[in-house]
Amino acid sequence: MEKLIEILEDLQPGVDYENTENLIDGRILNSLTILSLVAEIEDEFDVEIPTVEIVPANFNSVKSMWALIERLKEEE
């Protein structure tokens, strides 16, 4: 999960990612940042994030993103 936080801090510094749970709903991450984030996650964790999974519920917090990554790894 630390690598995921590093990726987020590179894309959007200055956010308390460990405790923030409204990254999308609170407009902390915008659509361009999300696209970059998806590409970074796919490269770093060797997963493919289907378009249907790119929803606020999966990207509102580091915990939800990590759960998505874990689930996608299990499905491979």
**Any idea where the domains of the chain sit in the sequence?**
2-75
Query: How far is residue 31's CA from residue 14's CA, in Å, rounded to a whole number?
Result: 18
39 with 64: CB under 8 angstroms? Answer: no
Query: How far is residue 7's CA from residue 29's CA, in Å, rounded to a whole number?
Result: 13
In the predicted structure, residue 52 carries a pLDDT above the cut 90 = yes
Q: What per-residue confidence (pLDDT) applies to 51?
A: 96
What sign does the CA torsion over 20, 21, 25, 31 have?
positive
Domain 2-75 has CATH 1.10.1200.10: yes
For the chain, the average pLDDT equals: 96
Q: What per-residue confidence (pLDDT) applies to 76?
A: 80
Q: What per-residue confidence (pLDDT) applies to 67?
A: 98
pTM over 0.75: yes
Q: What per-residue confidence (pLDDT) applies to 15?
A: 96
